[in-house]
Amino acid sequence: MNDILTIEDVAQYLRVSEHTVYDWAQKGAIPAGKIGTVWRFKREELEKWVNARLSGNTEDVEFLEKNRKGDIHIETFLSPDRVLFLNHSTRQDALFALAENLATAPQVKNRRELVEQILKRDAIMSTAIGRGIAIPHVRLASVTDLVASVGISRTEIVDFQPLDDEPVHLLFMIAAARNQHAYYLQTLSFFSAHLRNQGLRNSLLNTQTEKEVWNILISIG
């Protein structure tokens, strides 16, 4: 992937319109610079901007306080059969396996599109957020409702390129419908905030069965 991105690249990665990216750039809400009259974005700065919103302190703490018993009910979009123990050392293999698992959910109407878009999005920019966690995510017209799969990897997945260079062991893959933007962002924030807890991460990594993973997760929301 190039180190310099266009508005089109950023819009595709963030799943927003090019107009929205342009508006954010104009307002200084997203790190950007102009070459002549054209906006350009540095990959490293954009990654930091995205990760700050997925795993930042203040906004996530406020979110947790407001939603301690709030609108996120994990059992409505995750089931034990969508928990997968992975044994892959590359992110493409791990993402493919988890996307194939997620595609078995009844909310996903086009398996091929889901797998392709998950891989394509992560190729544009890594979805690793640090602390050994990756949260690959897409919104698609062929998904009828938000759904998730969880991957637990005993093997280090070394090529996710997180900013802290920590190999990924936990993957939370989320797919949502096009019209679920707010709920989609809320779910991303929910997971990234809770997963800052090292005890929770350790508990997930020490599980032996899919049901154990599911039970731990539904206990937090």
Type of residue found at 20: T
Kindly list the distances between the CA atom of residue 63 and the CA atoms of 34, 47, 179, 185, in Å, as whole numbers in the listed order: 34, 21, 21, 11
For 74-218, the fitting CATH number among 3.55.10.10, 3.40.930.10, 3.40.630.30, 1.10.3720.10 is 3.40.930.10
pTM strictly above 0.75? no
Average of per-residue pLDDT across 208-217: 96
pLDDT of residue 58: 43
Kindly report which listed range (16-20, 137-141, 193-197) carries the lowest average pLDDT score: 16-20
Kindly report which listed range (5-9, 43-47, 65-69) carries the lowest average pLDDT score: 65-69
Confidence at 19, pLDDT banded by 50, 70, 90: confident
Asked whether 118 and 146 are in contact (CB, 8 A), the reply is no
Kindly report which listed range (29-43, 54-68, 86-100, 126-140) carries the lowest average pLDDT score: 54-68
**At residue 20, does pLDDT exceed 90?**
no
pLDDT of residue 54: 66
Q: Percentage of the chain with pLDDT > 70?
A: 90
pLDDT of residue 71: 66
pLDDT digits (tens, 9 = 90+) for 104-158: 999 999 999 999 999 998 888 888 988 999 999 999 999 999 999 999 999 999 8
Confidence at 163, pLDDT banded by 50, 70, 90: confident
